[in-house]
A and B are shown apart, each in its own frame.
Chain A
Amino acid sequence: MGGYFNEMYDGKSVRAPYARLSDWMASMPADRRLEKQAEAEALFRRIGITFAVYGEGGDPDRLIPFDMFPRVFTGAEWSKLERGIKQRARALNAFLVDVYGRAEIVRAGRIPANLVFQNEAYERAVCGFVPPKGVYSHIVGVDIVRTGPTDFHVLEDNCRTPSGVSYMLESREMMMRMFPELFRENRIEPVDRYPEALRRTLASVAPAKCDREPTVVILTPGHFNSAYYEHSFLADLMGVELVEGADLFVEGGFVWMRTTEGPKRVDVIYRRIDDAFIDPLCFRPDSMLGVPGLMDVYRSGGVTICSAPGAGVADDKAIYTYVPEMVRFYLGEEPIIPNVQTWKCGEKDDLGHVLANLPDLVVKEVHGSGGYGMLVGPKSTKAQIEEFRELIKADPSNYIAQPTLALSTTPTFVEEGIAPRHVDLRPYCLVGERIELVPGGLTRVALRDGSLVVNSSQGGGVKDTWVLAE
């Protein structure tokens, strides 16, 4: 694994955040490790946490492998990440309020009009509307990769309904249960306040018409959805109702929930349903999942929808390249965590560079997700590269390309023992009246030797993510 930054070792010496883990590592002979691994898997199966991470596809009932070796950040490392993530979440929300308002960033020529206004995710139905507290994206999942001791890059933003946070909570729960001694020996920042922080965030954006303690619900497409476990898990931990479209109705300018004690007014809906399906009167008329008339209530200020309809225009891969520009334009700051350099095949010069360097690049579809429809140049055969070359030539603007990133590795339990495997990180930034980030996130790990693709559909697993208290 030469050339890749190993988060545990600096040459032969152990890096500070992992100092206390080397003894633990040594105390894990193969038989104990296998025993613990089996214990973890049994626990995960029992609670039924088997869903795929947002938009990744794959078998929804397949257990995502859990790796017991934690991924560790120092307090100082985290504090920089935290500032960078919060900065990004603020800029993305400022962008959303702007493009549905006066669109100053477009007028100023800092981002092309067609990328925004002709974007599939740009929602004319919310033009001119400012949601409570000016927040469109209440949970911003920022995917981050590391390439060196101080080198972090944002790979993509998830402004709609990023999932996977239940893995952050469950992985921690699992580790505390199986290795309580680790939590005595290390001062690890807790993550279990996330559900309460989420509930507080959602309540803080209740509409102005709400004059009492807001009623919050989670709206799920139903139990057949691959993330249903997470929906019910979060509802449980927050102490709010989990509802489906048929449990809600609109009347008199408000949204009501059917309960055994009669209708109850709902103030904030944390929806885990895509825009297209939330209201058949406004969006897809064939949707059975949503609530007819919901958008009229929303637009007239009777209810808050989280994330706000239209938020998706900020996390499009074509828009991604402009996020650093948003940070400068709205906040007057330089981005703390830079983007990964990205070439847009739709632009002539960029296309030339991409076609000339395909074997070294990662090429992705602009609207794709889940590690499908992408080319990892250095890991591909000549034939695969030529096949992709034709795809790009046929529809250049559908593709972006990035350098093949030297993703950092962390020690991971594999069949042969312990070996470095590539990881990424998805923290969940909460944006309401205030902006909050629980110290931790979802670390995804590429379990296959040499693989750089961490998506669960492509053989990825998850790890507990530690932030050490200073």
Chain B
Amino acid sequence: MLLSIDHVTTYRYDSPARGVVQSHRLTPSRFEGQRVLAWEVSVTGGVEGGSFRDGAGDWVQGWSVKGPVEEIEVRVRGQIETFDTSGMLKGHREMVPPEAYLRDTPATEADEALRLLAESARHDEPLSYAHALAFAVAGAIAYRPGVTDAHTTAAEALAAGEGVCQDHAHALIACARVAGFPARYVSGYLFADAEGTPHEAAHAWAELFVPGYGWIGFDPANRCCPDQRYVRLGSGLDAREAAPIRGTARGAGAEHLKVAVSVQPPEAVKSTASQSVATQSQAQ
């Protein structure tokens, strides 16, 4: 399917920053499930830095903005054609060995409850086990925005029994690693159509390395594997590592972040405004 993306992230600083440096993973991955038709990332007042494809296959682009700066807008606009590969990451070139994704991070460390959840889904056949893990996580954590935040760990989300796509992905990664599957966090976009569940257009899910198949995506939040509604950007051990934008502002006061993402078929773009808007503030 054809999708138009318009993703605007605005950073506003209470007192002007002396300089901002960012590292972006905002370019779609290269694999059989998607083909970029047009793609552009812009940063107001930004100077392009070094760019490269990293070992995980992600395109990384550095940026810097000279101070004083009160507000920065990072805008991603593009058109992409997507295909359903049943969640499989086919034709994706990467250098990082799957075993490197067996390592835990604080956000994905398994506690006893996560270990029990992983055990409860056990199947002898790896692919069935992977699916069962995703369903177990979906059943154990109900979708509910506003309960958890960016720093909530997998264990905390499971204890709360509620969370958003980041929590689902973290919990699935934790369970998968317990079960011996290399697992990673994937950030991207989701086209949620009229009948779709109310999930954010800026989305996240998990990939598990299943013997005999390779990397396969699982989205517990939507109880499915990524299909043509999904656009894959980048990956990491957890949400922080896979963040589409990482940055620092030197000498800035409190930072206010505003994100607006629209993922639509091209014909719908003209009639629809931003599909989802989220705001958050954080002190730096």
Binding site for B on A (CB under 8 A): 100-101, 103, 106, 113-114, 117-118, 120, 122, 124-129, 249-253, 280-282, 285, 292-293, 295-297, 299-302
Contact = CB atoms under 8 A, between A and B. Distances in A.
B248 A280 contact: yes
A35 B59 CA distance: 65
Given A124-B55, A280-B248, A282-B23, A253 B50 contact: yes
B49 A101 contact: no
A-B interface, 5 closest residue pairs, ranked by CB to CB distance from nearest: A127-B55, A300-B50, A128-B95, A296-B62, A117-B99
B122 interface: no
Given A114-B99, A250-B49, A281-B246, A297 B62 contact: yes
B247 interface: yes
Given A127-B95, A293-B62, A281 B52 contact: no
A113 B62 contact: no
B247 A252 contact: no
A118 B61 CA distance: 27
B47 interface: yes
Nearest to B97: A117
B56 interface: yes
Contact of A293 (B23, B52, B95, B96): B23
B47 A118 contact: no
Nearest to A300: B50
Interface residues of B, number: 32
Given A124-B100, A125-B54, A299-B60, A252 B95 contact: no
Contacts of A285: 240, 246
B102 interface: yes
A126 B60 CA distance: 13
A279 to B, nearest CB: 9
Contacts of B60: 296, 299
B77 interface: no
A295 to B, nearest CB: 8
Contacts of A113: 97, 99
**Most chain B CB atoms below 10 A, which of A103, A114, A292, A300:** A292
A280 B103 CA distance: 20
B152 interface: no
Contacts of A297: 49-50, 62
B148 interface: no
A128 B55 contact: yes
A122 B100 contact: yes
A108 to B, nearest CB: 14
Contacts of A117: 97, 99-100, 102
B29 to A, nearest CB: 15
B249 to A, nearest CB: 9
A285 B236 CA distance: 15
A317 B232 CA distance: 38
B74 to A, nearest CB: 14
A253 B49 contact: yes
Given A124-B55, A249-B19, A301 B50 contact: yes
Contact of B48 (A103, A120, A253): A253
Contacts of B51: 253, 296, 300
A118 B100 contact: yes
B43 interface: no
B64 interface: yes
